């Protein structure tokens, strides 16, 4: 390793800069949240008091977080670098696969919280409302999202589920 390489931080040595990765994810995440809003308006009704709230969802082992605003008129889900989180009302933090299992309906949010696999800060009522809204959806939001991307989406979710099962 050269002296220059040793002086750079791990984030500077990434193959894809975090900002570029976040920008690349923006259209995909926008499509996902708009589709969920279109197919599950009841989910947004359930979270009505917190529709204008900003949630930050932080997968601890990834360089980016997700910024969610569940406003049915202008739903927003975007990737943001973890070192530049926006102002937010609530923060949900955990390992990526724990968060995926919660969205996939395969995990109990209360159990994840009490086992300290999930950390919540800020407006906990908003987080509970979001979790209840997800729990009320018939089926899996993760599966529905994967299905919207056809065979590649289903294959990707299947791969993630297999990896999650090995964790």
Number of neighbours of residue 97 by Cβ within 10 angstroms: 21
Strand partners, 121: 91
Asked whether residue 156 is domain-assigned, the answer is no
Asked whether residue 3 is domain-assigned, the answer is no
Q: What H or E segment, with its residue span, contains residue 34?
A: helix 18-39
Asked whether residue 146 is domain-assigned, the answer is no
How much is the pLDDT for 5?
Answer: 39
**11-57 pLDDT, tens per residue?**
455 567 998 999 999 999 999 999 988 988 888 888 999 999 999 99
- CATH number of the domain encompassing residue 108: 3.30.1050.10
Asked whether residue 89 is domain-assigned, the answer is yes
**122-159 pLDDT, tens per residue?**
999 999 999 888 888 877 888 888 998 999 999 998 89
User: Could you tell me the residue range of the domain that residue 90 belongs to?
Assistant: 12-139
């Amino acid at each position: 390793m050269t002296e220059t390489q040793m002086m750079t931080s791990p984030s500077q040595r990434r193959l894809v800069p975090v900002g570029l990765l976040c920008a690349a994810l923006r259209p995909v995440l926008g499509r996902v949240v708009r589709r969920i809003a279109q197919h599950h308006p009841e989910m947004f009704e359930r979270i009505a008091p917190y529709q204008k709230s900003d949630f930050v969802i932080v997968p601890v082992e990834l360089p980016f977080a997700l910024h969610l605003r569940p406003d049915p008129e202008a739903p927003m889900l975007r990737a943001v670098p973890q070192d530049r989180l926006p102002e937010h009302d609530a923060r949900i933090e955990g390992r990526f696969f724990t968060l995926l299992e919660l969205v996939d309906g395969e995990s109990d949010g209360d159990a994840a919280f009490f086992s300290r696999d999930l950390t919540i800060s800020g407006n906990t009522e908003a987080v509970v409302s979001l979790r209840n809204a997800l729990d009320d959806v018939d089926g899996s939001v993760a599966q529905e999202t994967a299905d919207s991307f056809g065979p590649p989406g289903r294959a990707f979710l299947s791969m993630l589920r297999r990896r999650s099962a090995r964790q």
